[in-house]
Structures are given as structure tokens and as C-alpha cells.
Structure 1
Amino acid sequence: MFTVIENPEFTETVPVAVPGEAETQRITARFRVVDTDDLDWNDQAAVKAFLDEAVINFEGLGDDQKRPIACTPEIRAQLLRRPYIRVALIRSYVLAVTKAASGN
């Protein structure tokens, strides 16, 4: 039996290639599943709006001294403004929802 969840959410560990850094960093993102039927993936404003709706919060954040920090609304907005983070989030979101769809 397929379970219908009214507002599905999921957590993914997102690999992020940070410019100028040799190692890929990882961030844990909590997503909500949103409708993308009418989303124009080539429209930067639409993609930003999609991420603003889909990304609930982040975990596993640290400052430049490697001290843990909380995901405040300001930190969340700052991270969503970075293009390399947006690309990583989109990739992880799409892979997660298409994997889930193919598994059902």
C-alpha cells in the first residue's frame, strides 16, 4: 500500500564543491517536497523561489573556526544566495525525489 503524506519532507546530506577548496564539504539539508511542474529551471528567479520554498533548514553548520553554529534565518538566506550551494541543493533534491519516485 502506498502511504499518502500530505506535506512530505526529507533530509539529505548534500555534497558541496566549494570554490578554492580541494575537499568537497557536506551540509545536511531538510527539504519539503514542492510542486515543480511549472518550474522553469532556466529562470534564475524561479529557481531561487523554488529553493526558498523547498529548503526548510540546514544542520551541521560551523563557522570559520570550525565551531558549530545554528541555522538562523539570516544564515539560511546567506547560504541560499551562494550559487555553488544552490547547484548542490538542486542536484540533491532532484536525485532524492526521483529516486523516491522510481522506488514507489
Structure 2
Amino acid sequence: LRAMGVEFKEHFHLKMITGWGQSMTPTIKHGDPLLVDVSIKEFVGDGIYFFSYQGFQYIKRLQMKGKDKFKMISDNRKHKAEDIFIDETYIQARVLLVWNANLV
């Protein structure tokens, strides 16, 4: 993984989850396995995170917007970006790698 450019501190913090839905297409397609680092529980910079917000689970891009909000961004242009409150956002992990393959 490190040879592929995936950065992490400890291998035991790495877990696999499954992407769902179409909101992150084309980056993450429905059913794609995702390698995440569960030791990352806070925003550490722009990226794709697995988090909960107002009782729902999301896999989305997060960016800072001011000091009390994140901008929640979907890669699928059919889904508009939303502003969400930092104090209501519970980061579970950061997505490090989309493990997708194309049949040939």
C-alpha cells in the first residue's frame, strides 16, 4: 500500500467499508470497496471522509467553510454541495483508497 502512495501510521487502523449510492460517482461507484483509516476522527484537511451527520451516514468530500461549518461535496454533479455544522459532524474515518476494478 505504501508503495502505491497510501499514507497511514499503523496497519491495524486500516479497515474496509463498502461505498453505497451514486452521489460520489465517478470517484466511488455503488458497491466499491474503500480502504479507510479509522484512527482519523477529526478533519485533517480536504479529502473524502466517512462520517455521520444528523443521524445519517455519509461518504463525502469535506472542506472547511469558515470556523463552524464544513462544505459537504458530492462528486456526482446531480447532487448539490451542502454546508453542515462542524459540531454536528462525527468523523469515523478518512477514505484513503477506492478499491475499484474494471473488467476487461
**Structure with greater contact order relative to length (CA < 8 Å, sep ≥ 6):** 2
Q: Report the structure, 1 or 2, having the larger helix content.
A: 1
**TM-score normalised by the chain length of structure 1:** 0.31
Name the larger-Rg structure: 1
TM-score with structure 2 setting the length: 0.31
